[in-house]
Amino acid sequence: MEILTDYKRKKQWNDFVANNSDPVSFLQSFEWGEFNKKVLGNEITRWAVIEEDEIKIAFTFIKKSLPAGNFYWYCPRGLIWHKNYRDKRVNAYGPIIKKMESELAPAIFMRTCPPTPYREHIEGFLGRLGYRKPKILTSSKEPETTWVLDLDSSDDELLSEMHQKTRYNIRLAEKKGVKVREMTEKTKASDTDIFYNLSKGTAERNKIKIYGKDYYKKMINFFTSKYSDVELKMYIAEKENKPLSAAIVIYFGSTATYLHGASSSEDRDLMPNYLMQWEAIKNAKEKGMKIYDFWGISELNRAWSGITRFKKGFGGREIRFIGTWDYIFNRKWYNTFRILKLLKKIIP
């Protein structure tokens, strides 16, 4: 077994990730690493475990800053295991952890959000390896539960499997004259402004944080370039040229992922979000996607209750992942940050 820490073969990497994650993990695509490195300025390291000249495990680490000059490594929706290699998990993890401790140890910790469905015995296995559930930066992680729609049915069958209210709202939006269009190269700049302005309103309304306009602009420009295997599309629902809602959908492998959404506080009775999602779903089918991933849901988080009901209304199934785990290299600093977090909560 050979562990490479600077893998450079883009096609082989993307083929491996696309064929061995379900839903396909765009956060582990070659391009997502390049976006972080070349556009956002984050240091990355791209690891591959090789056996018999084939990738067996692949994962990208992204360097993230911490106070006082410290940092940690983040592995979003990784590690990706070859489908026929997972029975060797126990034997492979030992050398990987040893390599991590020698290569990544200047970091305070390493965080991973494996694309592995929840199993109690896997949770126990990770604990025995030394992984721990996060005690700091608990909001800096990927959703632990997602909602996906399989696209191997006809449009009529997909509609019939939706909640009755969702079908009604789609037809209502059509009847009320809502139209959905797709961003083009010509409209990219103005549509980015539209998306950000709608996002600001959504954030204020729901008291949530969003990225800055520059981030969205950089992401949209990068993932609409022709060389990328990862494709970004923006859908905008409007009536009489007035933007009502917008969505950013990422296409990679066989999965379309609804990554970001925003809507106006006006004309919500026109139900533009429903028609916009339906058009995005149909477009994903036309492009040959097998899965439409609605991204995160939560039955426990009250702030997510509305969006969770909205996503589930389109039919589909839930996937619960094993969750987020930290492997701590410097326990002293890790506990210091934990104490500072607690102090921040109790000291006004």
- CA dist., res. 231 & res. 122, Å (int): 33
Q: Are 267 and 336 in the same domain?
A: no
pTM, rounded to two decimals = 0.93
Beta pairing, strands 231-239 & 242-252? antiparallel
Highest-pLDDT range among 27-41, 203-217, 294-308: 27-41
**In this predicted model, what pLDDT tens digit does every residue of 96-123 receive, in sequence order?**
999 999 999 899 999 999 998 898 888 8
Q: What is the mean pLDDT of the chain?
A: 92
**Which domain does 41 fall in, by range?**
2-142+322-346
Look at residue 31 in the predicted model and tell me its pLDDT.
Answer: 96
Look at residue 304 in the predicted model and tell me its pLDDT.
Answer: 81
Look at residue 40 in the predicted model and tell me its pLDDT.
Answer: 96
- CA dist., res. 348 & res. 333, Å (int): 23
Quick one: tokens of 74?
């983040």
Residues 6+ apart with CB under 8 A from 22: 115, 255, 291
- CA dist., res. 146 & res. 299, Å (int): 11
Look at residue 348 in the predicted model and tell me its pLDDT.
Answer: 43
CB-count burial class (<10 Å; 0-12, 13-18, 19+) for 90: exposed
Q: Is residue 294 helix, strand or coil?
A: strand
Q: Are 126 and 153 in the same domain?
A: no
Q: What's the domain count of the chain?
A: 2
Average pLDDT over residues 6-29: 95
Q: Are 149 and 133 in the same domain?
A: no
- CA dist., res. 250 & res. 237, Å (int): 18
- CA dist., res. 313 & res. 311, Å (int): 5
Contacts of 26-30 spanning 24+ positions with Cβ under 8 A: 26/230, 26/250, 26/252, 26/253, 26/255, 26/257, 27/76, 27/77, 27/78, 27/142, 28/58, 28/59, 28/60, 28/76, 28/77, 28/78, 28/80, 28/115, 29/229, 29/230, 29/252, 30/229
Q: Are 112 and 154 in the same domain?
A: no
Q: Which of the residue ranges 198-207, 297-306, 319-328 would you say has the lowest mean pLDDT?
A: 297-306
Q: If you search the block for the tokens 């608990």, which residue do you land on? A: 138
Q: Does position 6 have pLDDT exceeding 60, yes or no?
A: yes
Q: Are 106 and 149 in the same domain?
A: no
**In this predicted model, what pLDDT tens digit does every residue of 211-261 receive, in sequence order?**
999 999 999 999 998 777 899 999 999 999 999 999 999 999 999 999 999
Residues 6+ apart with CB under 8 A from 249: 232, 233, 234, 235, 256, 257, 258, 259, 280, 284
Look at residue 345 in the predicted model and tell me its pLDDT.
Answer: 57
Average pLDDT over residues 110-138: 90
Give every strand in the sheet of 242-252, ordered side by side: 179-182, 231-239, 242-252, 255-263, 291-296, 145-150, 317-320
Give the H/E segment covering residue 220: helix 213-223
Q: Does position 341 have pLDDT exceeding 80, yes or no?
A: no
Q: Are 37 and 123 in the same domain?
A: yes
Q: Are 253 and 290 in the same domain?
A: yes
Please list the residues that pair with 111 across neighbouring strands: 74, 326
Q: Are 216 and 179 in the same domain?
A: yes
Q: Are 134 and 6 in the same domain?
A: yes
Residues 6+ apart with CB under 8 A from 90: 125
Look at residue 343 in the predicted model and tell me its pLDDT.
Answer: 59
Look at residue 148 in the predicted model and tell me its pLDDT.
Answer: 98
Q: Which of the residue ranges 25-39, 80-94, 140-154, 237-251 would you say has the lowest mean pLDDT?
A: 80-94
The answer, yes or no, to whether the previous bond of 243 is cis (omega within 30 of 0) is no
Report which of residues 345 and 24 the model is more confident about: 24
Q: Are 200 and 299 in the same domain?
A: yes
Look at residue 88 in the predicted model and tell me its pLDDT.
Answer: 63
Cβ atoms within 10 Å, residue 47: 22
DSSP state of 52: T
- CA dist., res. 24 & res. 201, Å (int): 31
Q: Are 171 and 81 in the same domain?
A: no
